[in-house]
Amino acid sequence: MARELIKEARSEIVVLSLGAAGALLATAEGFQRFGPIEVPVRSTVGAGDSMLAGIVLSLVRGRSIEEAVCFGMAAGAAAAMRPGTELCSRQDTERLFAQTCRPVNVCTG
């Protein structure tokens, strides 16, 4: 479906959260799969919103799309570490980004 959205020019970039399995980035150049960031999960409420916010913030700051997905994943994982509906912390997000996030699989086409 991501490939179709891009092929039909309905989107240039598609990022799909895979939850505890990581994320998938789709562009016209191909796909990249990002492995999970393993953290102690207290609540997943707001983790997807935090991921999206982290991606947008990173892009506004001039980072590459790959770095932005990693930062977004770090923000989502940091949110999952918090109880209830608490937001992710900047300190946790930056630490997780620096320590763990890298693409694990690249597929072109």
Catalytic-residue membership of 92:
no
Question: Residue 48 in contact with residue 30, Cβ under 8 Å?
Answer: no
Q: Of 35, 49, 87, 89, which is the active-site residue?
A: 49
The residues that are catalytic are 49
